[in-house]
Amino acid sequence: MSGEILILDFGSQYTQLIARRVRELNVYCEIVPFNKQLELSPSVKGIILSGSPSSVREEGAPAPALDVEHCGVPVLGICYGAQWLAWKSGGTVAPAGSREYGRAELHVKDASDPLMKGIPADSRVWMSHGDTITDLPAGFRMLASTDAVDNAAFRIGDSLIWGIQFHAEVHHSEFGARFLENFVLGICGVAPDWTPENFIESTVAHLRAQIGKDRVVLGLSGGVDSTVAAVLLHKAIGAQLHCIFVDSGLLRKDEFASVLESYKGMGLNVTGVNASARFLGDLAGVTDPEKKRKTIGRDFVEVFNEAASKIKDVSWLGQGTIYPDVIESSAVPGASATIKSHHNVGGLPEDMKLKVVEPLRQLFKDEVRRVGAALGIPPLILGRHPFPGPGLAIRILGEVTPEKVAILQEADAVFIDALRREGLYDTIWQAGAILLPVKSVGVMGDGRTYENCIALRAVTSVDGMTADWARLPYEFLASVSDAIIRSVKGVNRVVYDICSKPPATIEWE
Ligand code: XMP
């Protein structure tokens, strides 16, 4: 990797998007809180200052700890970042009018500037700010305007510092990606060599140096992240990696056996532990969703610990932590920090005193998939829908019993198999069946039935934070409903969930 970009996060809801766009240029970048004291490593070739929900006019407005004006590498301020640069040098920043939210037409005033390379004279950009720069400081050059915003883009004289008040990182900015490309590849001169293959090569070398002859234990969940982390570690340290795959009895129908088989097919050294009786036993009588999660989480840690302690001389715990988890736990208070995932079953087996190794810490989810594909992991595993750690327990409303798990597994399998058969599986983010705690009357043959009700849930989403119900064809829903009622004993009614998130959630518990 020949260079990287540093993004100073002032708390904008779009900070992660900036990182995404830079990574899409095949350039590595990292997000750090604006107030972090840091020594710039020679590999940092440029700095981007993010937006922020704050105003530079406020007392104690966030200011970077780094002396960005004299740091020796090019700097691009976006929105708040641009306002801060102007304000710091004596420019005027004032409350903006309502016209500075949403789409605007950008007019280039200085097409010769390297930031404007290839940008048409007029193009659409996305504005979202409460403040605006009304007067640029002396020596600043205005590069572009919109009808409402005179100083939409500027450069500080002939220095390597630029500011833009629009959000180049959002898709609504027509040439947004081009602005970032001009800055990152053109001005900063970073080579676009951050590819899955390079990532694998450098990570494998790093893991070998980090781990040496030690042993690593890793819990596999059947999901994408833990699988890719395991295959990467396996490539680095081979038989020194020991994987544990726990059957909680709450997985999908036949999933434990088939996933275990594919893990073995990938050459992983994996121990399957069947602990269904323990999980289901501990769940007896538990109806509260959070109590279910806690019970399952505790059992996971205990079962994992027992299995791990049988492996001799283990000193590392491998984990499939990915970049959004890292950012979420260290984010600057502000809009980006409020978007949190509250999940994740399990926890660190603390008494084992293991060091933690997380080979995917720098990657976004789609990058994990690309790395997985480059590692040769089968699409069937890489393309799998997310599945919650507590499994079917939070899709059985009320108490979980072995009988209910069996009913739900059958109904879910009918639904998922049909989605795959009809080529719909890859068009949706996540799907599954839910067993409701109600019985209703039906009629079958000549007899009256009084049986269970299954709800089907299928959603489209980008990241699981928000979601919409999938518009599955009526004919498809009709045939799934028919197949479930015909083949799953104990079910006489099927309904389809038509709620988006928010206000509903994806899971029912
Ligand atoms: P919700 O229901 O909050 O779910 O809209 C968002 C995403 O998170 C998954 N989910 C969980 N994953 N442990 C997990 O590992 C949990 O307790 C849990 N609860 C929900 C859910 O399946 C969806 O992908």
Q: Domain holding 274: CATH number?
A: 3.40.50.620
Please report whether residue 503 resides in a domain: no
Q: What are phi and psi of 191, to 5 degrees?
A: -80, 135
Residues 89 and 167 in one domain: yes
Q: How far away, in angstroms, is 13 Cα from ligand 1 center?
A: 21
Per the DSSP assignment, residues forming a β-bridge with 442 are 449
Please report whether residue 388 resides in a domain: no
Domain holding 129, by residue range, is 4-187
Q: How far away, in angstroms, is 389 Cα from ligand 1 center?
A: 8
* Packing angle, helices 196-211 and 365-374, rounded to 10: 90
Atom nearest to 508 CA in ligand 1: 2
Q: How far away, in angstroms, is 284 Cα from ligand 1 center?
A: 22
Residue written as token pair 């083949």: 487
Please report whether residue 135 resides in a domain: yes
Q: How far away, in angstroms, is 253 Cα from ligand 1 center?
A: 19
Atom nearest to 504 CA in ligand 1: 5
Query: Contact 298/283 with Cβ under 8 angstroms?
Result: no
Gyration radius of the chain's alpha carbons: 26
CA dihedral 263, 264, 266, 269 (to 10 degrees): 90
Q: How far away, in angstroms, is 261 Cα from ligand 1 center?
A: 26
Residues 246 and 179 in one domain: no
Mutate to test the pocket of ligand 1, among 343, 394, 462, 501 (most ligand atoms within 8 A of CB): 343
Which residues are catalytically annotated? 79, 167, 169
User: How many CB atoms neighbour CB 350 within 10 A?
Assistant: 9
Residue 473: cis peptide before it, omega within 30 degrees of 0? no
Question: Which of the listed residues 329, 354, 382 is the one where a domain comes to its end?
Answer: 382
Q: How far away, in angstroms, is 152 Cα from ligand 1 center?
A: 40
How far is it, in rounded angstroms, from Cα 480 to Cα 93? 59
Q: Whose CA is nearest to atom 20 of ligand 1?
A: 388
How far is it, in rounded angstroms, from Cα 461 to Cα 467? 5
Q: Whose CA is nearest to atom 21 of ligand 1?
A: 388
Residues 206 and 181 in one domain: no
Residue 390: cis peptide before it, omega within 30 degrees of 0? no
Per the DSSP assignment, residues forming a β-bridge with 135 are 92
Question: Which of the listed residues 164, 187, 210 is the one where a domain comes to its end?
Answer: 187
Residues 287 and 429 in one domain: no
Please report whether residue 392 resides in a domain: no
Please report whether residue 170 resides in a domain: yes
Please give the structure tokens belonging to residue 67: 């002396």
Atom nearest to 386 CA in ligand 1: 24
Q: What angle do CA 141, 144, 146 make, to 5 degrees?
A: 135
Q: Domain holding 439: CATH number?
A: 3.30.300.10
Per the DSSP assignment, residues forming a β-bridge with 209 are none
Q: Whose CA is nearest to atom 12 of ligand 1?
A: 388
**Looking at this protein, which amino acid is placed at residue 405?**
V
Mean of the per-residue pLDDT values for the chain? Answer: 92
Residues 376 and 442 in one domain: no
Q: Whose CA is nearest to atom 3 of ligand 1?
A: 505
Question: Which of the listed residues 187, 211, 243 is the one where a domain comes to its end?
Answer: 187
Atom nearest to 293 CA in ligand 1: 17
Atom nearest to 430 CA in ligand 1: 24
Residues 32 and 112 in one domain: yes
Query: How many structural domains does the chain have?
Result: 3
Please report whether residue 396 resides in a domain: no
Query: Contact 216/388 with Cβ under 8 angstroms?
Result: no
Please report whether residue 122 resides in a domain: yes
Residues 321 and 434 in one domain: no
Query: Contact 218/241 with Cβ under 8 angstroms?
Result: yes
Mutate to test the pocket of ligand 1, among 507, 508, 509 (most ligand atoms within 8 A of CB): 507
Residues 340 and 441 in one domain: no
Residues 294 and 182 in one domain: no
Q: Whose CA is nearest to atom 10 of ligand 1?
A: 388
Q: How far away, in angstroms, is 271 Cα from ligand 1 center?
A: 26
Residues 339 and 217 in one domain: yes
Residues 213 and 330 in one domain: yes
Which regions of the chain are under pLDDT 70? 1, 99, 327-352
Q: What is the pTM of this model?
A: 0.80
Residues 281 and 346 in one domain: yes
Q: Whose CA is nearest to atom 18 of ligand 1?
A: 388
Please report whether residue 390 resides in a domain: no
- Residue 337 vs residues 10, 58, 169: alpha-carbon distances, Å: 11, 20, 18
Q: Domain holding 121: CATH number?
A: 3.40.50.880
DSSP state, residue 82: H
Query: Contact 157/138 with Cβ under 8 angstroms?
Result: no
The set of protein residues with a Cβ atom below 6 angstroms from ligand 1 is 293, 343-345, 386, 388-390, 430, 464, 501, 505-507
Atom nearest to 501 CA in ligand 1: 5
